[in-house]
Amino acid sequence: MTLPELYVTLLIAGTVLLASIAAARTAHRAGLPSLLLFLAVGIVAGEDGLGLAFDDVQLAQALGTAALAVILVEGGLTTQWSDVRRLVAPAGVLATVGVFLSVLVTASGAHFLLGLDWNVALLLGAIVSSTDSAAVFSVLRALPLPRKLTGLVEAESGFNDAPTIILVLVFSTTSDVPAIGPLFGNLLFQLAAGGTLGVLIGLLGSVALRHIALPATGLYPLATVGFGITAFAAAGAVGASGIIAAYLSGLVLGNSQLPHRAATRSFAEGAGWLAQIGLFVMLGLLVDPSELSGAVLPALVVGLVLLLVARPVSVLLCLLPFRIPLRQQAFISWAGLRGAVPIVLTTFPVVEEVPHAREILNIVFVLVALFTLLQGPTLPAVARRLGLVRTDALREIQVEAAPLDVLDADLLTVAIPEGSRLHGVAVFELRLPHPTVVTLIVREGATLVPDRDTVLRAGDEVLLIATPETREDAERRLRAIGRRGKLARWLGEHGTPEREGTVTSG
């Protein structure tokens, strides 16, 4: 590539990126899932639009899989373990048994209603049966829902990509319906090996980042995401599920009290957005709009079977043992959003030259676009109709940490948001665990050194020094006062992260 060609390429890429960011803002204001506008940007820039040609399905498969890894690492990093630890069992059942049930019901509908061969119908059912992590993370986290409900759907979307990819690979590489025994053994190995590698690499990263002082703050986010990508690649290299490894390593790292957590979270969210934009725009470039009209009717049939029959049946049967209220089950069923994952999965049969693979790509593309447009904007109304919207959402304090090697201590920075009960509390009333010390307050652009009688205000940024042993207790105490005031302990508030009815800012 010559230098002028490089400039043109970067100009096009930068323009597409900025257009996609503008589309995300437009989508947010209109209440639409941003993925639809990202796909639209890709279609407009494609051969039938501005003339940008992209037909390399194998490259799209590789880049799409890598983008999914980044998205899942970001999803793990920004998921609170306290929100999902009690939900691992139901989420795991939904992500495995629920996927199998959805595949069977959807494939049956495609076979009997559209006349598709069983092999093609099973492949199509496997492609569309998993919820999409990128769509779920971006849509649900903007809704004031109970954390247990949001955590269950998020955990399911993080777990179920791996079983779905395994099924698609199996149906793409065999012309016969596979035997249940070998299929189950392959699934069990990939999930167990991938999960183990993800947890081990996440633990290794958390230990390393807590005890090594890097020369620049910006290196901590890079290193954290790097451990997640390493877990993805390591699992894939040994034939295990890189997707589950990426998500679990991110989950471990994101809940390990790492230094510079806010910076890491912001970097991961930026990387996740970049991966989503690149992924959806690339998928928009990949399709030929002139071929989509013939896919509308099959997409509607398959999508309605999935939305109205397969998803509700799988949710109802899988959650029966867990006594989850029916109205929450109804919301979980409607919140089974599809996004990038199904479209990326269609590249596997295209690369393997499976018969009718291109038609499957068009059907899945139309299905994702139509049903995301139906489900995404209606989720807030469905949540309100089912009585699930919280009215007591609070803004938590934001605590950031940086290691102080010489003192073997941590520097904590606490941003006090509007509405926090820390407003009006004197320093001595914090009763922080010894030897935690409030060292500095930044207020309205000025700094002041507090004494015991200094009163905190909303908008303050408070700097504290804590030892590693007292840091967690100090954070709990600050959260408790931020929620219930100086008498928090007497009111039964202990600052645990999993408290229902709160939303963590930052």
Shared domain check, 306 and 442: no
The values of phi and psi at residue 414, to 5°, are -120, 115
The confidence score (pLDDT) of residue 383 equals 86
Does residue 196 sit in the same domain as residue 110?
yes
Number of structural domains (the chain) is 2
309: region left, alpha or beta (phi > 0 left; psi from -120 to 50 alpha): alpha
Amino acid at 417: P
Rounded to whole angstroms, the Cα distance separating 350 from 373 reads 26
Helix axis angle for 3-30 and 261-286, nearest 10°, is: 100
Tokens coding 94: 């939904």
Which pLDDT score, from 0 to 100, does residue 307 have? Answer: 92
Last residue of a domain, one of 385, 416, 432: 385
The contacts of residue 154 (CB under 8 Å, 6+ apart) are 75, 79, 83, 84, 133, 136, 137, 140
Residue 453 sits in the same domain as residue 435: yes
Q: Determine contact, residues 154/84, Cβ cutoff 8 Å.
A: yes
Verify that 293 and 398 share a domain, yes or no: no
Which residue blocks in 335-467 are alpha helix, DSSP H?
Answer: 340-345, 347-351, 357-385
Same domain, 379 and 426: no
Query: Is residue 306 a part of any domain in this protein?
Result: yes
| CA pair distance 65, 279, nearest whole angstrom | 9
319 phi/psi in degrees, rounded to 5: -95, 0
- Residue ending a domain, among 335, 355, 385, is 385
User: Packing angle between helix 118-128 and helix 88-114, nearest 10 degrees?
Assistant: 140
- Asked if residue 67 belongs to a domain, the reply is yes
For residue 315, is it within any domain?
yes
CA angle 86, 89, 257 (to 5 degrees): 45
Domain that holds residue 213: 58-385
Shared-domain flag, residues 341 and 417: no
Question: Is the same domain home to 380 and 415?
Answer: no
* pLDDT tens sequence for the chain (506 residues): 788 878 887 887 788 788 878 877 776 666 566 777 787 888 887 766 677 777 788 888 888 888 888 888 988 888 878 777 788 889 889 988 999 999 999 999 999 999 988 888 999 999 998 887 666 766 776 677 777 788 888 788 878 877 888 888 888 876 666 667 777 777 788 888 999 999 999 999 999 988 877 877 788 889 999 999 999 999 989 988 888 899 899 999 988 878 777 788 888 888 888 888 888 888 888 888 878 888 899 999 999 999 999 999 999 999 998 888 899 999 999 988 877 778 888 888 888 888 888 889 889 889 988 888 888 788 888 888 888 876 554 455 666 666 665 556 778 888 888 888 899 999 999 989 888 899 899 988 888 899 988 999 998 999 998 888 888 888 888 988 988 888 888 888 877 765 433 333 33
Q: How far apart are the first and last CA of the chain?
A: 41
If asked whether residues 377 and 442 sit together in one domain, one would say no
- Are 399 and 473 in contact, with CB atoms under 8 Å apart? no
For residue 144, what is the domain's CATH number?
1.20.1530.20
- Model confidence, pTM: 0.71
Q: For position 506, what pLDDT does the model report?
A: 31
Strand partners, 402: 411
173 in any annotated domain? yes
Query: Is 208 a domain residue?
Result: yes
Residue 141 lies in a domain: yes
Q: Which of 385, 405, 430 is the last residue of a domain?
A: 385
Give a yes or no: residue 35 inside a domain: no
Peptide bond preceding 4: is omega within 30 degrees of 0, i.e. cis? no
Amino acid 400: pLDDT = 61
User: Does 346 share its domain with 402?
Assistant: no
Element (H, E) at 232: helix 219-237
429 plus 377 within the same structural domain: no
Same domain, 347 and 219: yes
- Alpha carbon dihedral 380, 145, 375, 96, in 10-degree steps, equals -170
**pLDDT in the model for residue 501:** 36
Contact 338, 371 (CB under 8 A): yes
DSSP string, 62-82: HHHHHHHHHHHHHHHHTS-HH
DSSP for 100-134?
Answer: HHHHHHHHHHHHHHH---HHHHHHHHHHHSSPPHH
Establish if 11 belongs to a structural domain: no
Cα dihedral value 224, 229, 232, 235, nearest 10: -80
- CATH number, domain of 412, equals 3.30.70.1450
The residue whose two tokens read 């649900």 is: 140
d(CA 314, CA 98): 5
Does one domain contain both 403 and 373? Answer: no
